[in-house]
């Protein structure tokens, strides 16, 4: 029998308890042993809650109970969550987490502690919510040299971009609507400025490379600059706009990793990923292109992924489930050398100069008064910024084009 | 160190050798041990082949060599492949296979032999080629009650349907073109009549239920009846046509499993799966909808999946990797009670009678001389066949509508 404790009885934590209780038959069958909830740690009381009996306020009750072999950390943050995780692993308790911030910041250190204590640090839920992506990369694509990972990794921004396209609406209006519906936080900056996606692509890149990609060091651009006009021009070019997390292994083996909105052809599988759905496009040297799609957030999808880890933990009590991620920082390829086409929306009277500075592109035909939109040939980031400096505020917006 | 033997040096077998040799560094790292090719079994000689040194003609060389812990069965068929697999497992050698026919026919028996001999029978490559799907169902979605699996499981038919739509071409012409390009076999019947897809959905259903779904007992309809006219009407309704393998758990817990072409809305993620790509749409009670996309066939994608199993086998030498599939036949829900909308293409002069027999539907407006197309409300298969019997050969074609 395996006893489980859940740290933090918030949205994901309560979902984990629900999955373990409601799907207990399948959880036990797949674990090959009985799996039982034993404790829920939270500072609050939950009078009348159906799982009130599991509630404890003192972390040491869990830490000192040798019957608890698997702990789910669904607190979030890198303070107490980090300390508790470390202490559990040092006691040989497997920790399953949905905490992407902690995984991105301390993942390899915690993996090492787990290894040294014959237990595991598992984090399927930290990227892509309910979408199986960590295991496919580590196990099903184990024989591959992964060449690139490109993902729609944030549900809030994908919802906003989908609505902007469908309703021809402005960013600010859709953001307000998303907040009213609970799809965006009251302080939406981590989502709309791309930082949430940056943490996720950093974790995926680290797994791809086996070394840490620091999410604070990658180029990160959000969607606040995207307008209804950009979608009008995109439609004209049979494109849509998505916020992508991108990581590609360059020729010298370094990762080129960044987060930015991209125009993407309507026929690409990522283009049909709408609303709060996420998808991750993984390319390997043998398998070619694969894609994983599902709900990237939400109580039960995320809890389901935590519980898949609980089952893995229950199957491997006293053993370490290996993860190939060394505690060593990867050298990143410089973003200034990244190359793409750019879509540039510009005041009509500056369009001739733009074409002279970056010849060989084409103008889109959508009709927006006083504006033109130009698709450049493939140029480096550096070349773009040089041109932009010359043209100044004649440039109304620019979006990279995914190819 | 783990030594590997490959049975059958055909397309997939030679791909497996290539992945193990070319990606050896990553294969060893992920296995946590050295992985080495030792034997290739084939009746033929391959003079000058770079891996000629591994070639043996006698299966017993492999069977009796205790240094061989992992065997890849890439022969196909259910004759020698079945005997060899059984003998290897009885000797405690893990077998990794791409042979869907054998898995569908003898899967649970071979799994049991593996379990009793502390080795594993692994078959990631048997469904969806390079797409990770067996592991996501067994591991990443382990905590789920899976409610349905719906897949585009055959690359040949998906290529044909994609081309018919894009080129407004007839089935026979596209089939000939596909044969010329090597995308369809000289005898294409297993593909175009749906039997290949039936084996794959049977395997996936068996994993969903934990009991065997017999592929010979499920309703199987191919794509030979689909015409350019059907695509014209489908376009009118913003739909496309895909060959789907479907398995849904009904209210009484029985699977409703079948293979048939379906009209499917252009906005559905499965609708954008084109050419030889495959995709599998899995719905769980907690996670909701997830989808897995990639190349469903081909030498290297399939070989990559076999090698993911080799790595799993190498990590678990002397142990059984569990699989929840009992050697017991599942009771199937009767197909006659399945309910869908039907698209019915009918001679124009019989369309009023059709509407009288199945009221409440709507006529599509595409213009094909002397024909009408009608989308019925949701009716049972039984009701459709009663109506069809009344209308006789006034019905020119009918395709179920996916909802």
Binned at pLDDT 50, 70 and 90, residue A176 comes out as very high
State the alpha helices, DSSP H only, in B122-154: 134-135
H or E segment and range at residue B37: strand B35-41
pLDDT-wise least confident of A56-70, A152-166, B127-141: B127-141
Q: Quick check: A29 and B308 CB within 8 A?
A: no
Q: Distance between CA B241 and CA B402 in Å, rounded?
A: 10
Contacts of B70 (CB under 8 A, 6+ apart): B2, B3, B4, B5, B35, B93, B94, B95, B96, B310, B313, B314, B317
Is residue B293 less than 8 Å (CB to CB) from chain A? yes
As given in the structure block, the two tokens for residue B246 are: 């479907």
Q: Quick check: A30 and B132 CB within 8 A?
A: no
Q: Distance between CA A381 and CA A341 in Å, rounded?
A: 10
DSSP state of A330: P
Q: Is A261 within 8 Å of A221 (Cβ atoms)?
A: yes
Chain A with chain B: Cβ pairs closer than 8 A: 189
Q: Is B361 within 8 Å of B375 (Cβ atoms)?
A: yes
Which residues of B are identified as catalytic? 200
Interhelix angle for A11-22 vs A299-315, to 10°?
60
| Interstrand relation of A379-380 and B362-363 (parallel, antiparallel or unpaired) | unpaired
Q: Is B238 within 8 Å of B266 (Cβ atoms)?
A: yes
Is the model's pLDDT at A397 over the cut of 90? yes
Q: Quick check: A130 and B287 CB within 8 A?
A: yes
Question: Residues B186-214: pLDDT tens digits?
Answer: 999 999 999 999 999 999 999 999 999 99
Q: What is the pTM of this model?
A: 0.93
DSSP state of A347: E
For the residues A281-304, what does the mean pLDDT come to?
93
For every residue of B67-112, which 3-state class applies, written as one string?
CEEEEEECCCCCCHHHHHHHHHHHCCCEEEECCHHHHHHHHHHHHH
Q: Calculate the dihedral angle through the C-alpha atoms of A150, A154, A156, A159, rounding to the nearest 10 degrees.
A: 30
| Radius of gyration (C-alpha) of chain B in whole angstroms | 23
Class of residue A397 by CB neighbours under 10 A (exposed 0-12, middle 13-18, buried 19+):
middle
Q: Calculate the dihedral angle through the C-alpha atoms of B80, B215, B197, B341, rounding to the nearest 10 degrees.
A: 170
Residue from A142, A209, A273, A307 to probe the interface with B (highest B Cβ count within 10 Å): A142
Question: Residues B243-285: pLDDT tens digits?
Answer: 999 999 999 999 999 999 999 999 899 999 999 999 999 999 9
Q: Distance between CA B84 and CA B225 in Å, rounded?
A: 39
Global ipTM: 0.91
Is the model's pLDDT at A277 over the cut of 90? yes
Q: Is B248 within 8 Å of B256 (Cβ atoms)?
A: yes
Q: State residue B146 phi and psi, 5-degree precision.
A: -80, 130
Would you put residue B304 in left (φ > 0), alpha (ψ -120 to 50) or beta?
Answer: alpha
Is residue B389 less than 8 Å (CB to CB) from chain A? no
Query: Domains (ranges, CATH) in chain A?
Result: 2-129+299-315 (3.40.50.720), 135-293 (3.30.360.10), 336-401 (3.30.70.1150)
Contacts of B391 (CB under 8 A, 6+ apart): B346, B350, B353, B354, B357
Q: State residue B388 phi and psi, 5-degree precision.
A: -60, -35
As given in the structure block, the two tokens for residue B43 are: 């009746």
Class of residue A111 by CB neighbours under 10 A (exposed 0-12, middle 13-18, buried 19+):
buried
The pLDDT of residue B356: 97
Please pick, among A200, A242, A248, A295, the residue that the annotation labels catalytic.
Answer: A200
CB atoms within 10 A of CB A94: 31
The pLDDT of residue A26: 93
The pLDDT of residue A146: 95
Comparing A142 with A6, the larger pLDDT belongs to: A6
Question: Residues A333-384: pLDDT tens digits?
Answer: 999 989 999 999 999 999 999 999 999 999 998 888 899 999 999 999 999 9
The string of DSSP letters for A54-114 reads: GEES-HHHHHT-TTEEEEEE-S-SSSHHHHHHHHHHHTT-EEEE--HHHHHHHHHHHHHHH
As given in the structure block, the two tokens for residue A262 are: 């991209």
Q: Tell me the CB-side half-sphere exposure of residue B125, using CA atoms within 13 A.
A: 33
The pLDDT of residue B298: 87
Is the model's pLDDT at A139 over the cut of 90? no
The pLDDT of residue B139: 86
Q: Is A325 within 8 Å of A108 (Cβ atoms)?
A: yes
SS3 state at A389: helix
Q: Quick check: A269 and B267 CB within 8 A?
A: no
Ranges under pLDDT 70 in chain B: none
Q: Distance between CA A177 and CA A181 in Å, rounded?
A: 6
Angle B135-B141-B144 (CA atoms, 0-180°, nearest 5)? 145
Is residue B32 less than 8 Å (CB to CB) from chain A? yes
Is residue B310 less than 8 Å (CB to CB) from chain A? yes
DSSP state of A213: P
Min Cα distance B305 → chain A (Å) is 7
From chain B, the residues in CB contact with A27 under 8 A are 142-143
As given in the structure block, the two tokens for residue B15 are: 């791909």
From chain A, the residues in CB contact with B267 under 8 A are 272
From chain B, the residues in CB contact with A318 under 8 A are none
From chain A, the residues in CB contact with B295 under 8 A are 287-290
- Give me the residue label for tokens 């309507």: A266
State the alpha helices, DSSP H only, in A182-285: 189-192, 195-209, 228-236
Q: Quick check: B286 and A130 CB within 8 A?
A: yes
DSSP state of A297: S
For the residues A49-56, what does the mean pLDDT come to?
96
Q: Distance between CA B49 and CA B53 in Å, rounded?
A: 9
Q: Which of residues 248-287 of B touch A (CB under 8 A)?
A: 267, 269, 271-274, 279, 284-287
Min Cα distance A34 → chain B (Å) is 13
Q: Quick check: B27 and A286 CB within 8 A?
A: no
Distances (CA, A) of A398 to A384, A390, B38, B314: 10, 15, 55, 50
From chain B, the residues in CB contact with A32 under 8 A are 322
Q: Which residues of B241-273 are buried (b: 16+ CB within 10 A; e: fewer)?
A: bbbbbbbbbeeeeebbbbbbbbbbeeebbbbbb
From chain B, the residues in CB contact with A143 under 8 A are 19-20, 23, 26-27, 30, 304, 307-308, 310-311
Is the model's pLDDT at A297 over the cut of 90? no
From chain B, the residues in CB contact with A304 under 8 A are 141, 143-144, 284, 286-287
As given in the structure block, the two tokens for residue A97 are: 């987490």
Q: Which residues of A158-175 are buried (b: 16+ CB within 10 A; e: fewer)?
A: bbbbbbbbeeebebeebb
As given in the structure block, the two tokens for residue B333 are: 């829900």
Residue from A152, A266, A272, A287 to probe the interface with B (highest B Cβ count within 10 Å): A287
């Amino acid at each position: 029998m395996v006893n489980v404790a859940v740290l933090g009885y918030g949205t994901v934590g309560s979902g984990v308890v629900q999955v373990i209780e409601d799907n207990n038959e399948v959880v036990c069958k797949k674990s090959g042993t009985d799996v039982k909830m034993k404790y829920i740690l939270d500072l609050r009381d939950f009078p009348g809650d159906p799982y009130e009996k599991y509630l404890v306020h003192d972390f040491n009750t869990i830490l000192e109970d040798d019957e608890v072999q698997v702990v789910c950390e669904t607190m979030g943050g890198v303070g107490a969550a980090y300390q508790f995780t470390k202490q559990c692993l040092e006691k040989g308790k497997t920790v399953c987490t949905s905490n992407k911030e902690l995984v991105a910041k301390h993942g390899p250190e915690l993996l090492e502690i787990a290894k040294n204590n014959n237990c595991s640090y598992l984090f399927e839920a930290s990227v892509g919510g309910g979408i199986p992506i960590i295991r496919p990369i580590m196990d099903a694509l184990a024989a591959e040299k992964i060449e690139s990972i490109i993902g729609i990794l944030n549900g809030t921004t994908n919802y906003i971009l989908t609505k902007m396209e469908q309703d021809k609406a402005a960013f600010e209006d859709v953001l307000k609507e998303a907040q009213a519906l609970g799809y965006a936080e009251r302080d939406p900056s981590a989502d709309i400025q791309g930082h949430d996606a940056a943490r996720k692509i950093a974790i995926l890149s680290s797994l791809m490379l086996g070394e840490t990609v620091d999410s604070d060091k990658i180029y990160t651009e959000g969607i606040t600059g995207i307008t209804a006009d950009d979608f009008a021009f995109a439609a004209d070019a049979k494109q849509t706009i998505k916020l992508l997390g991108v990581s590609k292994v360059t020729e010298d083996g370094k990762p080129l990793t960044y987060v930015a909105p991209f125009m993407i052809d309507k026929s690409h599988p990522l283009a049909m990923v709408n609303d709060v759905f996420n998808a991750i496009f993984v390319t390997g040297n043998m398998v070619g292109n694969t894609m994983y799609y599902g709900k990237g957030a939400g109580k039960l999808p995320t809890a389901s992924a935590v519980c898949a880890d609980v089952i893995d933990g229950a199957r491997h009590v006293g053993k370490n489930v290996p993860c190939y991620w060394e505690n060593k920082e990867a050298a990143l390829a410089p973003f200034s050398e990244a190359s793409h086409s750019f879509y540039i929306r510009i005041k009509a009277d500056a369009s001739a100069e733009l074409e002279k500075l970056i010849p060989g592109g084409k103008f889109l035909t959508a009709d927006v008064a006083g504006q033109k939109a130009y698709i450049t040939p493939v140029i480096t980031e550096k070349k773009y910024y040089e041109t932009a400096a010359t043209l100044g505020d004649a440039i109304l917006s620019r979006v990279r084009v995914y190819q």
